[in-house]
Amino acid sequence: MTAQHAPSSRRLVRYAFRGALILTAVAVAVAFVSFRSYVETSPRFCATCHVVAPEIAIWTESEHRAVRCQQCHHQSLEDGLRILKVYLAGGSVAGGHAAVNLASCAACHATHDTRWPSVANSVGHRVHAEKAKLECTACHGRQMHFNRPPRSTCLTCHEGKSAGTAHEEAHCLACHNFLSTGQELKPTRAECLGCHERQERPVVVSSSAPMQFSCYACHRPHQGGGVVACGDCHQPRDLAGLHSTGGHQDCATCHEPHDWYSTKAQCFACHKDKASHHPEKNCSECHGFEAGLRTGP
């Protein structure tokens, strides 16, 4: 009886042994996949070394906080094995690793994914990435993981581009619309006025003003905040009428900024004795400052 049941018992042992091997293999495979996923996709793996560094803390407050580290930071198999070896040994990784390249940024920002701003057709991308051949991280990397003011990031390349006292607190992108689909990064007249019309001392320019050019034709905020001299465009030899007579050469004496046309009050500032002189008329009706007009009554 015992001899008859011996082969069956051995088969059961073999089946049990094979089952144990299969279960062990499955467990090892699951553990390997889980560990590999942890290393390749989990920010917690990165945090084991960057635990007290500012990179993680600043990233958790950024717009990319929902993006895993490994989605942007790719590394070679050799680098991955090196980091894993150091990690398992309880050490820390020396030297740079897992750099961000253009493809990582383009995967989100050069697609039609509405979750992210698209920069592929923006003027900022054309000027910096295509024309100047800059990597995205040349401008954005420092802001992503380090507490560096945005203005200083721009000044890394645009050294000496002071914005003047009036714009010193403004972010560069407040005037230079990086995501615009226009042809250049200089702000348009509408963009300048859109902001300055809301200031404590608003700048309002009449739509009927004769010169509808861009604000930076006169204002040069990156050149000490100065204003271009009127004579750079309005040459003295081209001025007509009473412009050429004594006392009328200082443009700002008669012309208020952004108005162009002078008023009777400005004339009376010098010609005080003429305040009651034909009060029903504007001075320029009789006293001409343009070519072809009379210069006196």
Mean pLDDT of the region 178-183: 83
Can you give the pLDDT at residue 3?
52
Can you give the pLDDT at residue 100?
81
Which letter does DSSP use for residue 114 in this model? T
Mean pLDDT of the region 51-77: 77
Mean pLDDT of the region 59-70: 81
Task: Give the 3-state secondary structure of 11-28.
Answer: HHHHHHHHHHHHHHHHHH
Q: How far is the C-alpha of 284 from the C-alpha of 288, rounded, in Å?
A: 5
Is residue 217 predicted with pLDDT exceeding 70?
yes
Q: Which domains are seen in the chain, by residue range?
A: 2-164 (1.10.3820), 234-285 (no CATH)
**Residues 250, 204 contacting (CB under 8 angstroms):** no
Is residue 175 predicted with pLDDT exceeding 50?
yes
Is residue 127 predicted with pLDDT exceeding 60?
yes
Mean pLDDT of the region 210-220: 82
Task: Give the 3-state secondary structure of 195-249.
Answer: HHCCCCCCCCCCCCCCCCCCHHHCEECCCCCEECCHHHCCCHHHCCHHHHCCCCC
Mean pLDDT of the region 1-29: 75
Is residue 160 predicted with pLDDT exceeding 50?
yes
Mean pLDDT of the chain: 78
Instruction: State both tokens at 48.
Output: 């084991």
**Residues 163, 221 contacting (CB under 8 angstroms):** yes
Q: How far is the C-alpha of 73 from the C-alpha of 75, rounded, in Å?
A: 7
Can you give the pLDDT at residue 215?
87
The residue assigned the tokens 């029903």 is: 280
Mean pLDDT of the region 168-192: 83
Q: How far is the C-alpha of 90 from the C-alpha of 49, rounded, in Å?
A: 10
pLDDT tens-digit map of 70-103:
888 877 767 777 777 887 787 777 766 777 877 7
Can you give the pLDDT at residue 148?
67
| Count of positions (residues) in the chain | 297
Q: Label residue 1 by pLDDT band (50, 70, 90).
A: very low
**Residues 74, 98 contacting (CB under 8 angstroms):** yes
Q: How far is the C-alpha of 141 from the C-alpha of 233, rounded, in Å?
A: 43
Instruction: State both tokens at 146.
Output: 């380090």
pLDDT tens-digit map of 97-124:
777 877 788 888 888 778 888 887 889 8
Can you give the pLDDT at residue 259?
75
Amino acid at 87: Y
Element (H, E) at 219: strand 219-220
Is residue 274 predicted with pLDDT exceeding 80?
yes
Least confident of 76-80, 143-147, 174-178, 183-187: 143-147
Can you give the pLDDT at residue 153?
80
Instruction: State both tokens at 64.
Output: 């990319």
Percent of the chain at pLDDT > 70 equals: 86
Q: How far is the C-alpha of 20 from the C-alpha of 27, rounded, in Å?
A: 10
Residues in a beta bridge with 220: 226
